[in-house]
Structure 1
Amino acid sequence: MKGMDSSQEQQAAERPIINIESEKVALGPIRRDQVPLFYRWANDFNVLRTLHIPRPSTFEENLAFFEGDVENEKRRTEVHFTVYERATLIPIGRVDLAEISHRDRRAEFGIEIGEANYRGRGFGTEATRLMLDYAFTGLGLHNVGLYTWEYNLAAQAAYKKAGFREVGRRRQAKFMGGKFWDIVYMDCLSTEFVSPVLSKVMVPDEMRS
């Protein structure tokens, strides 16, 4: 078999590892060399507006967050993926499951589309659906929950399209733009979700004659 030349080897080395992919997005493990990218996203107030209180964060802080994520993955309490545009393999965001309880078969969901050009175009919805597929089909969880702000209408629409439904509110518990807003709680059950990808992968071998 003919080996790869140097340009092919470099291309293979630069290509990110992909674990799950669908029509528009692909998910792969977070990487240390992506910390500068996470650092930039963490200082974009347009992103932080829908996550938490906007404030500047240092590179060292983001590196510490990355290292904490790695340690929590080792403990099997969290799973983190980088979200890529499938066609170009450009990293556009992150998605995660946190507070994973394998005993109770539940977890908390989070997503961040850091690249502005990819917001509002269905990438977040598709990444959310892939993560639910991983949670239910890959990990065998039963309940995945999240919370968002009442004013984050785009996120609520994307979550509902992916399979989440609203289950309750904490009234006027978020202050934004001179007004109090509700915190909206949503969840999805494995019995309410149809696997789009991993049901074709996570299958037993067939018996051979």
Structure 2
Amino acid sequence: MDSLQQTNDQPVINIVGEKVALGPIRRELVPLYHRWINDFAVLRTLYIPRPSTLEEIEAYFEKDVEQEKVRRAAFFTVYDRATMAPIGRTELDSINHRDRSASFGLEIGEAEYRGRGYGSETARLMLDYAFTVIGLHSVNLETWEYNLAGQNAYKKAGFKEYGRRRQAKFMRGQLWDIIHMDCLATEFVSPVLHEIMVPDKPRT
């Protein structure tokens, strides 16, 4: 068994939920990230679909690593907990420690895992990380009016709609609203990390 196969079999994991586990982004997974970002079904709810080269995604990976070093972002690979197969990526970016705020992003790259609760649990675990570990107070996101599955997943995780930019997104011959959603620490109950992020008790 080669080293890549060993790494794929036993990835480093930071957060474990019921369906998903989250671990660091990995250089050897860049070709997989590249495949996901070239899937127009994924991009339909994220960006304007266009082809991206492997070299471009490699450059983005290096930028992500630099952003993590200065604590401006936190990027995770999303794994199916049952198989530990990588199925997507998620992130907190624009982390502002002074204002205790950040923006959230998610892509479930593997089609068979969409619409099955993996996205909503990933979002919930990322809110847990933002509030319980980093100590943020507000996490926001934006999505498109036509992304009904995404809106449902985000609401299940704890996000609420707080505003819209009307008719600012074009798709398939129609203008749609951009929906803004957020979640506050005071509205969220930690599902996992409250059991880990606890102070030591004095020894008797």
Verify same fold: TM over 0.5. yes
Q: Which runs of 5+ in 2 are unaligned?
A: none
Per the TM alignment, residue 208 of structure 1 is displaced from its structure 2 partner at its CA by 1.1
Partner of 1:170: 165
Say whether residues 1:86 and 2:81 are aligned partners: yes
SS of residue paired to 1:80: strand
Distance 1:13 1:60, change over 3 A: closer
Residue 124 of structure 1 is matched in structure 2 by 119
SS at match of 2:13: coil
Change in Cα spacing, 1:56 to 1:104, as seen in structure 2 (3 Å) is same
Give 1:206 shift: 1.0
User: Structure 1 residues 182, 12: closer, same or farther in 2, change over 3 A?
Assistant: closer
**1:95 paired residue number:** 90
Residue 200 of structure 1 aligns with an amino acid whose one-letter code is: E
Q: Distance in 2 between matches of 1:25 and 1:13?
A: 15
Deviation by residue 1:124-169 (Cα, 9 ceiling, x = unmatched): 0000000000000010000000000000000000000000000000
Count of residues paired in the alignment: 202
**What CA deviation, in whole Å up to 9, does each residue of 1:155-208 have, x standing for no partner?**
000000000000000000000111000000000000000000000000001111
Q: How does 1:122-201 map to 2 (within 5 A)?
A: 122-201=117-196
Deviation at 1:26, TM superposition (A): 0.1
> Of 46, 54, 57, which aligns to 2:49?
54
Alpha-carbon separation, structure 1, partners of 2:135 and 2:197: 11
Give 5+ residue unaligned stretches, structure 1: 1-5
Runs of 4+ in 1 over 4 A off after TM superposition: 10-14
Displacement of 1:55: 0.4
Match of 1:137, as an amino acid?
A: T
Confirm or deny that 1:65 pairs with 2:60: yes
1:13 shift after superposition: 8.0
Q: CA deviation at 1:75?
A: 1.0
Is residue 115 from structure 1 mapped to residue 81 from structure 2 by the alignment?
Answer: no
8 Å Cα contact 2:37-2:43 kept in structure 1? yes
- CA distance, structure 1, for counterparts of residue 8 and residue 138 of structure 2: 37
Any idea what SS the aligned residue of 2:123 has?
Answer: helix
Amino acid at match of 2:189: V
Aligned partner of residue 93 in structure 2, secondary structure: strand
Identify the residue that residue 16 of structure 2 maps to in structure 1.
Answer: 21
- Once the two structures are superposed, residues 70-111 of structure 1 have per-residue CA deviations (whole angstroms, 9 ceiling, x without a partner) of 000001100000000001000000000000000000000000
What is the distance in 2 between the residues matched to 1:159 and 1:37?
Answer: 25
Structure 2: distance between partners of 1:92 and 1:19: 16
- CA 201–88 in structure 1, closer or farther in 2 if over 3 Å, else same: same
| Larger gyration radius, structure 1 or structure 2 | 1
SS of residue in 2 equivalent to 1:172:
strand
- 1:206 maps to 201
CA distance in structure 2 between the aligned counterparts of 1:11 and 1:38, rounded to whole angstroms: 19
The one of 35, 42, 47 equivalent to 1:40 is: 35
